């Protein structure tokens, strides 16, 4: 049996993470998540002994963290838009930047009883957050992965969110059912396969590649969605895509050259990086 106070436990873990080239902040996240304590709580008890059951749990789980496994997968959940979402390796970890997609959508919707569809829902974080923040929305969420939909449905039950889930590739489930939507949002796979060499092992070894990578320099999913938008949207329908920060100008030019849209614009995130592209569809 090993005894630690909070300071000793964290310092030892910081040193071990640094030696492995991993961010020391992972130790804080893991301890906070499994203890239910805030960072402030831990600091207030910094010199106090850590309860033995918590030490035992932390020491076991930190070995997975040392291997590079993301803390969110270790503890089985992630925070998104003020809520906890269950996770496993079948779904992408929702990013803080994607909260801005939710905020932008909520800020732009003009008809609160709109039919909204989230394409490639993954954990369901976007669709569920939108439904909880604007309960009058009629929300549909699609994903090509049945395994991802299992996670999304569990999260919808957890948050008591009435979402209609559909399995299939991109817009095809809507097309097959003849469904038209007023708002379409998506955070699709948009990383090119060539960019793998720039990515960390933590992402490459643990997060689902189906949710990360796309052909055509990461633009394939956007182009496939655009090609079929006329089958699911009427004139005036709102479209918001999350994008890679280097894709904005290329995608904006492609849309402007090939489709009739209104209000086409790139939206930057809190770090002033291109994060979203937005437009209103004009039916052909």
- The reply, when asked if residue 13 is annotated as ligand binding, is no
For the entire predicted model, the pTM comes to 0.89
**What's phi and psi for 63, nearest 5 deg?**
-65, -40
Name the band, by pLDDT with cuts 50, 70 and 90, for residue 200. low
d(CA 276, CA 240): 7
Average pLDDT over residues 256-262: 94
187 labeled part of a ligand binding site: yes
Give the residue extent of every domain in the chain: 6-75, 92-281
Under CATH, which architecture does the 6-75 domain have? Orthogonal Bundle (1.10)
- Residue 213's pLDDT band (boundaries 50, 70, 90)? very low
Q: How many other β-carbons are positioned within 10 Å of the β-carbon of residue 252?
A: 17
Does 51 appear as a known binding residue? no
Annotated binding-site residue? 218: no
pLDDT tens per residue across span 83-134: 999 999 999 889 899 999 999 999 999 888 899 999 999 999 999 999 999 9
H helix intervals, the chain = 6-19, 25-35, 39-44, 52-66, 71-75, 99-108, 125-133, 146-158, 172-177, 201-204, 220-228, 248-258
122 is in an annotated binding site: yes
Q: Which helix (H) or strand (E) holds 80?
A: strand 77-80
Q: Give the pLDDT confidence of 21-64 residue by residue, as tens digits.
A: 999 999 999 999 999 999 999 999 999 999 999 999 999 999 99
CATH number of 92-281: 3.40.50.150
Is 66 annotated as contributing to ligand binding?
A: no
């Amino acid at each position: 049996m090993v005894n630690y106070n909070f300071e000793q436990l964290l310092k030892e873990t910081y040193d071990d993470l640094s030696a492995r080239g991993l961010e020391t902040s992972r130790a804080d996240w893991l301890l906070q998540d499994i203890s239910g304590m805030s960072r402030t709580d831990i600091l207030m008890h910094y010199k106090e002994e850590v309860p033995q059951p918590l030490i035992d749990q932390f020491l076991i789980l930190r070995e997975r963290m040392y291997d590079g496994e993301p803390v969110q997968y270790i503890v089985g959940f992630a925070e998104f838009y003020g809520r906890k979402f269950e996770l496993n390796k079948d779904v992408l970890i929702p990013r803080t930047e994607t909260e801005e997609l939710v905020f932008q959508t909520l800020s732009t919707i003009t008809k609160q009883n709109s039919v909204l569809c989230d394409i490639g829902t993954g954990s369901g974080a976007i669709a569920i957050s939108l439904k909880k923040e604007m309960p009058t929305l009629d929300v549909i969420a699609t994903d090509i992965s049945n395994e991802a939909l299992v996670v999304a449905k569990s999260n919808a039950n957890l948050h008591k969110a009435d979402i209609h889930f559909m399995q299939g590739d991109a817009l095809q489930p809507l097309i097959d059912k003849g469904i038209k939507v007023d708002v379409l949002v998506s955070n699709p796979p948009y990383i090119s396969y060539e960019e793998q060499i720039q990515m960390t092992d933590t992402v490459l070894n643990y997060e689902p590649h189906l949710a990360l990578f796309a052909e055509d320099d990461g633009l394939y999913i956007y182009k496939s969605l655009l090609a079929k938008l006329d089958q699911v949207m009427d004139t005036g329908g709102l479209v918001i895509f999350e994008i890679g920060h280097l894709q904005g100008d290329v995608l904006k030019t492609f849309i402007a050259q090939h489709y009739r849209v209104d209000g086409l614009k790139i939206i930057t995130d809190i770090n002033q990086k291109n994060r979203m592209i937005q437009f209103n569809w004009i039916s052909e």
